[in-house]
Amino acid sequence: MPFSAESNEIYQESLAMHAKHKGKLGIRSKVPLKTKHDLSIAYTPGVAEVSREIVKDKNLAYEYTLKANTIAIVTDGSAVLGLGNIGGYAAIPVMEGKAILFKKFAGVDAFPICFESYETDFVDKVRNIAPVFGGINLEDIAAPKCFEVEDALQDIGIPVMHDDQHGTAVVVLAALLNSCKVTGRKYSDLNIVICGAGAAGYAITRMLKCIGYNPDVCTRVNEIIVCDTQGTIFRGREGLYKNKYKFIIAEETNKPALAGSLADAIQGADVLIGVSAPGIITEEMVRSMNRDAIVFAMANPVPEIWPDAAKHAGAAVVGTGRSDFPNQINNVLAFPGIFRGALDTRATRITDEMKIAAAHAIAGCVPKPHRERILPNILDKSVTKAVAEAVAQAAVRCGCSRPHN
């Protein structure tokens, strides 16, 4: 299926729009500045009293400043979309786009913070900008650094989430829950192959196998085999000690310790989840799966296998990351509502319970799923509301919300 002719027109139109508006974001004042009195209460001398109150209790920043509804979108530009390590400058338009999605779908004010290169003190830099924000969305940071950065920032008192990991995992879980309804499968019986062991693949694996998750809130699938560019990941594979995250995958998945290629792993699987590279799944591979297979080919803009080819090979449910096919598996179904719910409860972090609640809320927005509709439309704002409410309730239940008026 050709893509370049269609995309070239879109690319040129996008360049023209960005040049016309000089980007997509701006700052506007919430209060008037028409008189000296306006200036006196918005700035000096009146603002001094606000600062004095916050000195007494820093939590009052949520009451008196933009902190209550503002997040930072932080990147080092090392893994931007399908473009790779393009740096902070080139990442700006992508982060601006993420910011307007936050505003459009959740009413959240978001601002891009783009570092030009990954440095050893990156975590400290992010930690030190935290006071002004109610949450931090880590974005487009390459694995394994993204795991290390997210882990190191969990103690800063505001939610920090790497969306490429957890937003993707949440939507995949929602899609799987409804795909099981469509194909008559039991979720806990699923045998899954995940193609791609980067940020998304790692997070999907952890969520679906409940690795590190509270078993009281997380249901495991039966088995997962994860494949990277070298084939299956299994206990004892040479070189795994160099990457502790792949080592974790090896210890927690692929119980038969299958060594082989992606094609070997796919045989007899119920589900294939691709978060890797274009065109690497063949019809023959899909035919080797179990009857009425579920295929999520999420590489963008060109998926691992085109939907028509997957269906021709026998797949019952097919999803991609693209908006021009049914069953778009897109993070925008998750991250606006997750952060909206976290901000509304002034959560200190985003927990397992909150992520799983988000997935079930998304799945619940399609009460009667079918092969061509396992997920809600990404433009449906009611999804954000449902996710935010579910996340807020989970935040209260797990004790990570702050009391406020």
SS (H, E, C) the chain: CCCHHHHHHHHHHHHHHHHHHCCCCCCCCCCCCCCHHHHHHHCCCCHHHHHHHHHHCHHHHHHHCHHHHEEEEEECCCCECCCECCHHHHHHHHHHHHHHHHHHHHCCEEEEEECCCCCCCHHHHHHHHHHHCCEEEECCCCCCHHHHHHHHCCCCCCCEEEHHHHHHHHHHHHHHHHHHHHHCCCHHHCEEEEECCCHHHHHHHHHHHCCCCCCCCCCCCCEEEEEECCEECCCCCCCHHHCHHHHHHHHHCCCCCCCCCHHHHHCCCCEEEECCCCCCCCHHHHHCCCCCCEEEECCCCCCCCCHHHHHHCCCCEEEECCCCCCCECCHHHCHHHHHHHHHHCCCCCCCHHHHHHHHHHHHHCCCCCECCECCCCCCCHHHHHHHHHHHHHHHHHCCCCCCCC
Chain center to CA of 357: 14
Query: Crossing angle for the helix pair 87-106 and 335-344, nearest 10 degrees?
Result: 70
198-219 b/e (C-beta count within 10 Å ≥ 16 → b):
bbbbbbbbbbbbbbebeeebbe
Active site residue 98: yes
Among candidate residues 24, 30, 98, 209, the one labeled active-site is: 98
Among candidate residues 11, 24, 36, 43, the one labeled active-site is: 43
Beta strands at 223-228 and 231-232: parallel, antiparallel or unpaired: antiparallel
- Cα torsion for 322, 362, 147, 141, to the nearest 10°? 30
Chain center to CA of 246: 20
Q: Indicate which residues carry an active-site annotation.
A: 43, 98
